[in-house]
Structure 1
Amino acid sequence: MQVKKILTRSCIAALMFGVFSHAAMADQLDDIKKAGKVRVAIAMGTPLFSYADDKMQPTGSDVDTARQLAKDLGVQLEIVSVTNAARVPTLQANRADLVIADLSITPERQKVIDFSTPYAVITIIVGGLKNIAVKDYKDLDGKRIGLTRATVNDTLTTAQAKGADIVRYEDDATLITSMVTGQIDLFSSTPSNLQEMQKRAAGKNIELKFAQKDFELGIALNKNQPRLKEWVDTWVKTNMKSGNLNTIYKKYHGRDLPASVQNVQ
């Protein structure tokens, strides 16, 4: 009887191990195909990457990238609009399957989420009013500078400009408005946001001060999703090789992707 009980428990344990092992290997790719849609988190309000056009429809290089990905996957695109700070939390909470939202690939983020092969790049800059002399980080000491919270701008500027008074905003749209309306005189952001500020406040003489760093962007997904990651990586490489991703990027940003991104193997 004792032997029978031990054997029974062993069988149950083996069965449960198989169930949990299967669950652990489960992948969102099948769920996306079954649902017939892919939920993509996009940070709207980011000029050139993701914004509303004159008909209030989503557009930009990230939006076009998401549309092409959904089309090639054979499903509908559901845009999940998020702030910059909510990009990673939205993915972790499973409110989105992927994030295509000018999200830079950094070691800190790679600890909690996975990234695809780089599909684009973003340049981080410091800009501000022409009459303020700023050439590098040390010139920011004692000065007030605005940026968007939970971005590489935030991480980089916080680390390099320790003497600056940093004002953090929840999204790029609020940062742009603050600069245009004179709430701040300096900012850390992107060339596309600088262009938007110059367009909206032509008389304020807002200019580029110095470039901070170039970052590669990746399509983000949750960890332990091997089949979905493999599909997305293959999709990026295929569309990079065909020139589709470069065409999308150049359409909005007016320049080609760097060779280091285009020549990915």
Structure 2
Amino acid sequence: MVSGAGPVLPHPLPGAVGLSHLSAYDWEAADGIRGGSPHLHLVCTEAYVVTGGRGAVQTLSPDGFRDIPLEPGTVAWFTPGTVHRMVQGGGLRVTVLMQNSGLPEAGDAVFTFPPEVLADPEAYAAAASLPPGGGPETETAARRRRDLAVEGYLPLREALLAGDPGPFRDFQRAAARLVRDKVPAWRALWRAGALAAATRTGGRLDALEAGDTAHLDAATAHETRPTRLGGYGMCGRRDEYALPGTTLPYEEKKPGPLPYEE
């Protein structure tokens, strides 16, 4: 048990990572590119493991713009503060590994909406949220959300290409202001998830060093299957797992706007 963490989550995936599968959106955006909604994470590193098809991930960071090709076998990852946009090239299929399972689903992601939307938390929440159900209304809202994110993304990219990081830095600061009030809740999730997993490892090392193997008496195996197929995420249609530490973004029983999907 980690001090102040509440109950430790049972048997998370190794490292308490989050897991999902994505099929990149095929919708064409204003710049002619087919793909997902550009966004960044404030705390978590994200990795793409490409399992099928072709495409790319466009990234914006202080070191500029990159267009990273994606094909089966590619592993690409991006650290906090990196704007990323998944680009569809044909049948792109990606397994996503997300650091700090539970934080992205709790809002550790901010879309590259235009500055006036980012400056208004209520307007941002309305633009970022999707109606429940997964039907035509959800698809329309997901596409509208993607288009608004691309609208804000393109000026950031053009400024970076021109050697001006100012608009990108302004976006990072606006994103941080937008989520600041969420940090206490994120800290609780981190303590119960990723930090608790690391702490358990330390305890096992201490036990082995002392010749104590009692923790091996609890050895067991687990298996799971997706608990939702084809949800509308930030980057594409998303298969999700009800894993310990993950707050599933599609739970319709929760009142108010849905958390922001990945």
TM-score tier after normalising by the smaller chain length: under 0.3
- Larger helix share, 1 or 2: 1
- State the TM-score, normalizing by the size of structure 1: 0.26
Which structure would you say has the larger Rg? 1
Query: Higher relative contact order by CA 8 Å / sep ≥ 6: 1 or 2?
Result: 2
